[in-house]
């Protein structure tokens, strides 16, 4: 039996991957167990933004300074930021790491079969953009968060880490 992923495990994965800055806009899926603890964690510079595409640019420009940052948002904000993701993260090949909560996701249904078109469309959009992505649901997948972040920064390429269910 797989255990649902813990918020603490996600935060530890960020630390293990060398993330220094968290750029964020509240997302209902990750707010309680990831965003709130992160926002008071002295190991990170916390940068709240008003709109998600700001965060794409902030993460991109921090990478030029040799710093690792991560954008924590909701999937609606991901959809709203597609042009910035396309231009800045994908076309410029910059290490923009996005951790994206899927608001309204049904825990018993894979996101690719979701009744919500906004959730169902995420994988095809990432495929079309040639954007690396994964759905993170259980404790065992925490290690893949570290791997995806490491790969993003080693290869200077973006990635999206989707979190369908509220971490415990």
Partner 1 sequence: MKRDQALQALARHYPDGIVVAVYQTAFDWMHIRPHDLNYLCTGAMGQASSHGLGLALGVPDEKVVVLDGDGSLLMNLGSLVTVANMAPRNFFHFVSQNNMYEVNGKYPIPAATTIKFDQMAIAAGYRYAFSFDDIGQFNSEIEGILDLEGPVLVCMHIEPGEFYPLDYATLHSEQTRVIFRNALKSRLQSHLQE
Please spell the DSSP secondary structure of 51-99, one letter per residue.
Answer: SHHHHHHHHHHHHHTT--EEEEEEHHHHHHTHHHIIIIIIITT---EEE
- Give the nearer residue to partner 1 in terms of CB position, either 97 or 102: 97
Q: Least Å distance between CB 4 and partner 1?
A: 32
Tell me how crowded residue 156 is: count the other CB atoms within 10 A of its CB. Answer: 12
Task: Decide if 41 contacts 11 (C-beta within 8 A).
Answer: yes
- Give the nearer residue to partner 1 in terms of CB position, either 93 or 112: 93
Q: Which of 7, 55, 77, 164 binds partner 1 (CB under 8 A)?
A: 55
Which residue's structure tokens are 């948002």?
Answer: 73
* Residue list 18-47, contact with partner 1 (CB under 8 A): 21, 45, 47
Q: Least Å distance between CB 8 and partner 1?
A: 26
Reading the block at residue 75, the tokens are 């999937």
- Give the nearer residue to partner 1 in terms of CB position, either 50 or 117: 50
Q: Using CA atoms, how far apart are residues 136 and 110, in angstroms rounded to an integer?
A: 11
Tell me how crowded residue 124 is: count the other CB atoms within 10 A of its CB. Answer: 10
Does the footprint of partner 1 cover residue 92 (CB under 8 A)? yes
Q: Least Å distance between CB 132 and partner 1?
A: 19
Q: Least Å distance between CB 94 and partner 1?
A: 8
Q: Rg for the chain (alpha carbons), in Å? A: 14
- Give the nearer residue to partner 1 in terms of CB position, either 17 or 96: 96
- Chain residues binding partner 1 by CB under 8 A are 21, 45, 47-51, 53-62, 64-67, 69, 83-84, 86-88, 91-93
């Amino acid at each position: 039996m797989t255990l649902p992923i813990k918020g603490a495990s996600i935060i530890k994965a960020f630390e293990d991957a060398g993330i220094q800055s968290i750029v964020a806009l509240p997302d209902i899926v990750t707010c309680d167990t990831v965003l709130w603890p992160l926002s008071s964690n002295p190991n990170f510079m916390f940068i709240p933004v008003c709109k998600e595409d700001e965060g794409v640019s902030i993460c991109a420009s921090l990478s030029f300074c040799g710093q690792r940052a991560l954008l924590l948002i909701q999937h609606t904000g991901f959809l709203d930021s597609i042009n910035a993701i396309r231009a800045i993260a994908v076309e410029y090949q910059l290490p923009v790491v996005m951790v994206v909560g899927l608001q309204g996701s049904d825990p018993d249904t894979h996101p690719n079969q979701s009744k919500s078109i906004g959730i169902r469309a995420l994988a095809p959009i990432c495929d079309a953009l040639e954007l690396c992505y994964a759905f993170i649901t259980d404790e065992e997948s925490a290690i893949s968060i570290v791997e995806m972040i490491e790969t993003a920064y080693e290869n200077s390429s973006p990635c999206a880490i989707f979190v369908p269910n509220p971490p415990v």
